Homo-oligomer: A and B are copies of this chain.
Amino acid sequence: MEHHGERYERGLKALQFVSGQAEPNVVDIATAPDLARYVVEFGYGEVYSKPGLEPRDRQLVIIGALAALGNAAPQLRFHINGALNAGRTRTEVVEALTQIAVYAGFPAAINAITAAAEVFAARDAED
């Protein structure tokens, strides 16, 4: 149990860092409590927390993947925000999503830019 606890605690911290929220909520916990736990323990507590690649670099890999797949808009917005929280500039995010046009086509890039514009506007509104 302790060990699970360790992974969970480490994952929660990483997820708080990426989301910028004290109580990040990325899965419908009531419907799929185990999946919600896996996100924290495995997704963030194991993979994301590994040394060897900086969070600011992981976020580039993740927004590259999600923008290219083009079928997970909530997660793309979440991780564009996460890239900014991890220290990337808006310019770097826009450049990264523009680069996607070459590898996954213009529609994927254009829709990712729309997602970025929404994230930027939400952050501006919070300030």
Report A's interface with B, CB cutoff 8 A.
Answer: 1-4, 26-28, 30-32, 34-35, 38-39, 42-43, 46-48, 50, 52-53, 57-58, 60-72, 74-75, 91-92, 94-111, 113-114, 116-117, 120
Given contacts A3-B2, A108-B72, whether A43 and B102 have CB atoms under 8 Å apart is yes
Judging by beta carbons under 8 Å apart, are B62 and A32 in contact? Answer: no
Given contacts A31-B116, A68-B69, A103-B65, whether A95 and B53 have CB atoms under 8 Å apart is yes
Secondary structure at the A interface, as helix, strand, loop or mixed, is helix
When distances are taken between beta carbons in the complex, the residues of chain B under 8 Å from A103 are: 62, 65-66, 69, 75, 105-107
Judging by beta carbons under 8 Å apart, are B31 and A106 in contact? Answer: no
Q: How far is the CA of A39 from the CA of B108 in the complex (A)?
A: 12
- From A62, which residue of chain B is reached at the shortest CB distance? B103
When distances are taken between beta carbons in the complex, the residues of chain B under 8 Å from A95 are: 50, 52-53, 58
Q: How far is the CA of A106 from the CA of B71 in the complex (A)?
A: 12
Given contacts A26-B110, A74-B111, A101-B47, whether A120 and B62 have CB atoms under 8 Å apart is no
